[in-house]
């Protein structure tokens, strides 16, 4: 029998606005508030006697004080700032109701028995202590001379702050500290994630139901991945159906694909479709400088998800903690590996009845530890690849919904011109086009804005360089060499634009666009690409009998492609052998431990095969350029005059392409995202 749902099940799938906040104050909050109250009571007990400890004295006018000093009736004084207080030798009569405070004082020695004549409604008394304030116009020297002349005992103290000021200065910081602790405790930060005492708490962001704001309708270009993930949605919507038949719900689903293909977006869409709590966290957030923190956060994250089951845990960039163990040169028992071990334990320790699914995303599945990928942990791998034409069209429709498009914008043409673009690239393309339209003070986005955005994304912004005529001529022939080889090679992608306007790091660009999406590349096509890459350097040799550094990137890319053809794809005289390359083993520790699986003699043969392949393509490019030297001169002259030549003008200059050559679908303006770019 399946387990009964938990008591809090009815509250889990409520939208955030419908959930009642938990107003209970944690026990730690009462403790801190009690300490704060004790502190305040102690301060009152300490300072209350000080507030009432000042001796009883009467405020007398300064003139009366001077009079009594002159009569020798002042015993001692204490001066503190502009305040004077002291004692008389003999008490003097004082009447509070009298504005002067004294009645009938003659310039004779006052005696305690002297009783001045007063009206019947005035009461008088005698005082021994007094206090007064002397005016600023009276200098200290004059006052001191008067007091010394009559042998008055003098005490001088620095000006004192009031008692409440001393209390504020001494105890306010401590009071604020306790108030801060109480506020933190009241918010539950002593026991919840995100606080200064909660290093071991998971910092996952929780979304409930449609709070992710994403459903499968917001995802395009990944139809196969959506179909695979719809099963996960059904697991979460109807878990009892699978429990009753005895099936075990998959523990984990790993989303694999290049950057920008929408792996995170798909995970959010699963949560939005399933209408269950969604805990999102990056793998890098598990690891801190403190040992054991990552493992503690993993435990806390899974505890939260189990309490909210059915739920989803999404770990982005899983390779941050899931890399193969024991691959380093130093100690292997580091914090990252402890975190990985705890993740393995948690994923394998689910109760069969717990509806918690772990979604994770990575673009480096080759570096993950094998223990993560075995059944029972990540049972399924869903590949999220680059979108095809229909996928790109759907993505463009989504990202242009909020844009004001002109009538000439054709999304099908843009989709056809952007092979190899990911969803993130297409989103950036739409945004760049909108920014260009706004910068040009247009109210709508036109097709030319998309063309300009394409060039800016792929090639970089146009640069204004003051090049000499000699440099411009070298660049024109270099780009013309790429174009001649591509134009007259049947297997090469057609050229759609040539420019000698500097863009990004390139001084000139030759753009090619394939006729369709390609998933399986033939040897003849790859050989054609090699020849096109070497065409610019070859043109410099033929025309100027000199070479420059402008072909650096061409040579680097050509060498990489030739090495793959020889070592990975068996396209050389070495036969059907795939040799290990540095791209297959990303860990230095394993590379040093295993070494190469072929001899030095074989390595020399590989180098010779790569060199032979490049030399053969160089000879082919040289032959084509000699054969079409007149067309190369005409193209270079046109580039020097107009700087940019499109496909239509290229056909007028170079003539038609060879019979059976690849052709690009008609694209207005003949400008699009290139499949390959030669600089």
Query: Which residues are known catalytic residues?
Result: 479
Distance (Å) of CA 16 to CA 10, 210, 576, 616 = 13, 10, 60, 67
Cα-trace Rg, the chain = 44
Element (H, E) at 445: none
Element (H, E) at 577: none
> Within 10 Å of residue 192's Cβ, how many Cβ atoms?
12
Measured CA to CA, the distance from residue 435 to residue 228 in angstroms comes to 36
Measured CA to CA, the distance from residue 257 to residue 267 in angstroms comes to 13
Measured CA to CA, the distance from residue 636 to residue 650 in angstroms comes to 11
Strand runs labelled E in 123-202: 125-133, 153-157
Q: If we measure between CA atoms, which residue out of 239, 272, 233 comes closest to residue 253?
A: 233
The secondary structure of the chain in percent helix, strand, coil, rounded to multiples of 5, reads: 50, 15, 40
**Separation of first and last alpha carbons in the chain:** 68
Measured CA to CA, the distance from residue 665 to residue 158 in angstroms comes to 95
Distance (Å) of CA 283 to CA 313, 327, 364 = 11, 19, 13
Measured CA to CA, the distance from residue 306 to residue 193 in angstroms comes to 16
Chain centroid offset of residue 624 CA: 51
The angle, 0 to 180 degrees and rounded to 10, between the axes of the packed helices 600-627 and 523-544 is 60
Residue 176's Cβ-side half-sphere holds a number of Cα atoms within 13 Å equal to 5
Chain centroid offset of residue 168 CA: 42
> Within 10 Å of residue 274's Cβ, how many Cβ atoms?
23
Q: For 21-78, give the DSSP string.
A: P--PPPHHHHHHHHHHHHHHHHHHHHHHHHHT-SPP-EE--HHHHHHHHHTT-EEEEE
Contact (CB, 8 A) for 300 and 274: no
Question: Using CA of residue 252, residue 253, residue 258, residue 261, what is the dihedral sign?
Answer: negative
Q: If we measure between CA atoms, which residue out of 218, 318, 197, 320 comes closest to residue 271?
A: 218
Measured CA to CA, the distance from residue 353 to residue 347 in angstroms comes to 14
> Within 10 Å of residue 113's Cβ, how many Cβ atoms?
8
Q: If we measure between CA atoms, which residue out of 435, 90, 382, 85 comes closest to residue 261?
A: 382
Which three-class secondary structure string do you get for 372-412? HHCCCCEEEEEECCCCCHHHHHHHHHHHCCCCCECCCCCHH
């Amino acid at each position: 029998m399946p387990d009964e749902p938990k008591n809090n099940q009815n509250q889990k799938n409520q939208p955030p606005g419908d959930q009642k906040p938990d107003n209970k104050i944690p026990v730690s909050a009462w403790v801190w508030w009690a300490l704060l109250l004790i502190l305040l009571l102690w301060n009152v007990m300490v300072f209350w006697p000080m507030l009432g400890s000042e001796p009883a004295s009467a405020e007398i006018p300064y003139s009366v004080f001077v009079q009594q000093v002159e009569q020798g009736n002042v015993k001692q004084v204490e001066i503190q700032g502009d305040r004077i207080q002291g004692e008389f030798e003999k008490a003097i009569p004082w009447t509070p109701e009298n504005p002067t405070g004294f009645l009938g004082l003659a310039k004779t020695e006052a005696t305690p028995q002297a009783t001045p004549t007063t009206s019947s409604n005035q009461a008088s008394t005698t005082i021994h202590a007094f206090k007064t304030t002397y005016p600023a116009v009276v200098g200290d020297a004059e006052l001191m001379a008067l007091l010394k002349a009559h042998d008055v005992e003098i005490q001088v103290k620095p000006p004192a702050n009031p008692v409440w000021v001393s209390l504020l200065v001494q105890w306010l910081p401590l009071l604020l500290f306790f108030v801060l602790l109480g506020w933190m405790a009241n918010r539950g930060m002593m026991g919840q994630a995100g606080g200064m005492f909660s290093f071991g708490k998971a910092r996952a962001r929780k979304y409930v139901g449609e709070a992710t704001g994403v459903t499968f309708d917001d995802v395009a270009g990944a139809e196969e991945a959506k179909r695979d993930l719809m099963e996960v949605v059904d697991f979460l919507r109807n878990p009892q159906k699978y429990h009753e038949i005895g099936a075990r719900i998959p523990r984990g689903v790993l989303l694999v694909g290049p950057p920008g293909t929408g792996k995170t977006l798909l995970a959010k869409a699963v949560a939005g479709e399933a209408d269950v709590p969604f805990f999102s966290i990056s793998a890098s957030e598990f690891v801190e400088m403190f040992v054991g923190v990552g493992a503690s956060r993993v435990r806390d994250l899974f505890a939260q998800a189990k309490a909210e089951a059915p739920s989803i845990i999404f770990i982005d960039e899983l390779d941050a903690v899931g890399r193969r163990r024991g691959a380093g040169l130093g100690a292997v028992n580091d914090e990252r590996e402890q975190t990985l071990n705890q993740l393995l334990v948690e994923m394998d320790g689910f109760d069969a009845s717990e509806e918690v699914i772990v979604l994770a995303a990575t673009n480096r599945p080759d570096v993950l530890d094998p223990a993560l990928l075995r059944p029972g942990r990540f049972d399924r791998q869903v590949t999220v690849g680059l979108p095809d034409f229909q996928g790109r069209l759907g993505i463009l429709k989504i990202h242009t919904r909020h844009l004001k498009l002109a009538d000439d914008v054709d999304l099908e043409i843009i989709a056809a011109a952007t092979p190899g673009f990911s969803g993130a690239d297409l989103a950036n393309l739409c945004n760049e086009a909108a920014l260009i339209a706004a910068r040009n003070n247009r109210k709508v986005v036109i097709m030319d804005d998309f063309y300009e955005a394409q060039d800016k994304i792929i090639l970089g912004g146009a640069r204004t360089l003051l090049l000499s005529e000699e440099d411009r001529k070298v660049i024109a022939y270099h780009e013309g060499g790429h174009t001649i080889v591509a134009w007259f090679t049947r297997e090469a992608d057609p050229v759609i634009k040539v420019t000698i306007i500097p863009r990004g790091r390139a001084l000139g660009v030759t753009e090619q666009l394939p006729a369709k999406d390609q998933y399986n590349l033939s040897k003849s096509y790859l050989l054609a690409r090699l020849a096109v890459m070497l065409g610019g350097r070859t043109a410099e040799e033929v025309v100027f009998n000199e070479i420059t550094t402008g072909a650096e990137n061409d040579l680097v890319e050509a060498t990489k492609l030739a090495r793959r053809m020889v070592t990975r794809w068996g396209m050389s005289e070495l036969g059907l052998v795939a040799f290990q390359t540095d791209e297959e083993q990303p860990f230095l520790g394993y590379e040093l431990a295993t070494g190469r699986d072929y001899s030095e003699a074989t390595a020399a043969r590989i180098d010779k095969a790569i060199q032979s392949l490049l030399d053969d393509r160089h000879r082919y490019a040289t032959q084509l350029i000699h054969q079409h030297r007149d067309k190369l001169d005409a193209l270079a002259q046109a580039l020097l005059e107009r700087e940019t030549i499109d496909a239509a003008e290229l056909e007028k200059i170079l003539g038609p392409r060879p019979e059976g050559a690849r052709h690009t679908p008609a694209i207005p303006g003949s400008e699009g995202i290139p499949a390959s770019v030669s600089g």
